[in-house]
Chains A and B, each alone.
Chain A
Amino acid sequence: MSLMKTGQARIIFFGYLIDLVKEREVVLEITEPTKVKDVLSRSLSVSQGLDVVVLINDYPATIDSYVKPGDTVKILPHIGGG
C-alpha cells in the first residue's frame, strides 16, 4: 500500500496492462483535477487510444472523468471472461 501525500493520486493497473506499462502501481503529482486520459498519456506514455475500464475510488468512471488529488484510479483492460 502506497502512502500518498497531499496533491498526489494513486494509479493501479490490472491484467495485461501491468505488462504494458511495466508498473503495477504509480503515485503521481496532481495539482488540479485532470482527465484520466491526460494522466495516462502525459505521465505514463500510454497511448491516447487505449480502450480501458476506469474506476475512481472503486466507482465506475471513464477516461474523460477527472482525477483529483487523493484519488485512487484503477485501470483495467477489457476482457472477454470465457
Chain B
Amino acid sequence: MEGLAAASDEELLRRFAAGEASAFELLYHRHELRVYRYLLRNLRDRTRAQDALQETWFAVARDAARYQANGARFTTWLFTIAHHRMIDALRAARARIEEVSTQMIESHAAAMTHGVGMAEPDVAAIASEQLEALLRALAILPEEQRQVFLLQQEADLSVEDIAAVCGCSFETAKSRLRYARSKLRELLQDCL
C-alpha cells in the first residue's frame, strides 16, 4: 500500500485492472468525498446521492480494464461517469427535486456540520452559516450552471474537461461557468 501511495490515478486503475484490489481502495479514498459532494449538491438527496455514488464506482471497477489513458485524465473519466449517473437520478426524481424547500437545505446544512470538531461555538456557527448560505445559493442556480461550477470546484477540471464531461462545447461550458460564478458572488456577498 505504501508503494501505491505515490502512484498516479491512472497507474492505480491499471494495477486494479490487473487484479490489485488495494489499488482500487486507494483510488476510492482519494476521490470518494469529491464525487459524493458533487452528487449530493446536485441531487440534494442523500439516498439518491449514495445510490449514484455506488453506481459510479461500480462502473469504474467494471470498466477499469477498458479504460485507456488516451490523453484523458482519470478524474475527467470518473466525473463523466458520475455526471451521467447524476443526470439519470435527476431525471428519475425531477418532480421531487423541484419541491426542495428551504427547510430541507437548512436541515442538510445542519447535518453536514454535525460532529465537526470546533473549538469555539461562534466559529462553528459562522461555518454552519456559510455552508448553509452556499448550499442555498447553489440550489438557486440553474441546474447546468450548478453542474459546471461543482465540476470546477470538486473535480478541479479545466473548462475544456468540463465541456467534455457535460457534452457541450467549450464556449457553452465557459459561458455557464461565468454566469454561475457571477450569480454566486452576488448571492454570497454578505457571507464574507
Q: Do A and B bind each other?
A: no
Chain B residues packing against A (C-beta within 8 Å) = none
| Chain A contact residues, CB within 8 Å of chain B | none
